[in-house]
Structure 1
Amino acid sequence: MTVLVWITEGTWQAAVDAARTHIPTGTDITLLHVIGDDIAEAAHGAFVGLLGRGRPGRDPRDQVADRSERAAAALLDAAADRLGRPATRLQAHGRTEREVVHAAAGADLLICARDGDPQHLGPRSLGPATRFVVDHAPCPILLVWPEPAPSLDSLPPHPPHP
């Protein structure tokens, strides 16, 4: 069995805890973090469009990309430490939701955490990238709450019937 655990900044602990709790020892686990290239490109665009004023060498794109790489490596290290057993670490670049779906192509299970509204049950408990992954993943998904799930009182009222 191969398990992919999607590591994101806000919810990684819940995803790792789910793997630690529900996945048998000896299972191949891969911890995946995706760096969106749009952040470094936005920094570059701001430099070129507003801040550059003809001073090459001050473009922040490379600095932002380097810091993103280091932060991702530190996050994967923290996730591996929390998992407490061997795991492959995988960093990807690009559109987060698409990179996760592509990485899940060879997995038997994908573990990820809800990243939307934590106060209500329902579709808004998923952010856009997670919604895309849930809709398109080519394998089963274990979707966990990063905090205790909201009560059933958070369900919307029944629709009125004529």
Structure 2
Amino acid sequence: MTVIVWIVEGTWPACIDAACVYAPEGSDLVLLHVTGHEVSGAAHGAYAGLLGRARPDRDPGTAVEHLAATSAEQILARAAERLGRPCTRQERSGRVEREVVSAAEGADLLILARDGDRTHLGPRSLGPTSRFIVDHAPCPVLVVWPETAPSTATIPPPPPHPPHHR
């Protein structure tokens, strides 16, 4: 069984804990971190746009890319340590939602954490990236709460009119 665990700063411990509980012993565990191009791309663009034909060796976007790679390595190392089981660490870069969906191809399970409004139960507990992944994942998905789930009292009341049956 191949289990992909999407590692994101702030929510990854809950995903690792879920993998410990739900991934059978002997599973091929893949810890996946994806670095988006947004920040480094903005730095590259700003540098090129503001300073014209400047020297590429001074481009701050390159420094941001190196910092992101170091951060990814560190978070994956911490996640692997918490997991305490053999695993593969995978780093990708690109459009985060598409990279995660692509990585899940052929997997038996994808584990990710809620990243939206975590004060209420419901669809807004998933941010846009996680929503895309849940909607497009080519395998079963386990969505976990990064902390204790809100009470069922946070579910909105039903609509005032009963639904029409056809």
1:79 equivalent to 2:79? Answer yes
Shift of 1:21: 1.6
Shift of 1:49: 2.1
CA contact (8 A) 2:48 2:54 kept: no
Matching residue of 1:153: 153
What TM-score, normalized to structure 2?
0.93
RMSD, aligned CA: 1.2
Shift of 1:58: 2.0
Structure 1 runs not aligned, ≥5 long: none
1:60-93 C-alpha deviation (Å, 9 max, x unpaired): 0110000000000000000000000110000011
Within 2, Cα distance between the matches of 1:123 and 1:48?
40
CA contact (8 A) 1:10 1:115 kept: no
- Counterpart secondary structure, 1:106: coil
Within 2, Cα distance between the matches of 1:92 and 1:55?
29
Give runs of aligned pairs for residues 42-53 of structure 1, distance below 5 A. Answer: 42-50=42-50, 52=51
**What letter matches 1:135 in structure 2?**
D
Give runs of aligned pairs for residues 1-162 of structure 1, distance below 5 A. Answer: 1-50=1-50, 52=51, 54-56=53-55, 57-161=57-161
Structure 2 runs not aligned, ≥5 long: none
Shift of 1:138: 0.5
- Counterpart secondary structure, 1:82: helix
Within 2, Cα distance between the matches of 1:114 and 1:53?
41
What is the total number of aligned residue pairs between the two structures? 161
Within 2, Cα distance between the matches of 1:27 and 1:2?
6
1:64-123 C-alpha deviation (Å, 9 max, x unpaired): 000000000000000000000110000011100000001000100001110000100111
**What letter matches 1:111 in structure 2?**
I
* Runs of 4 or more consecutive aligned structure 1 residues displaced over 3 Å after TM superposition: none
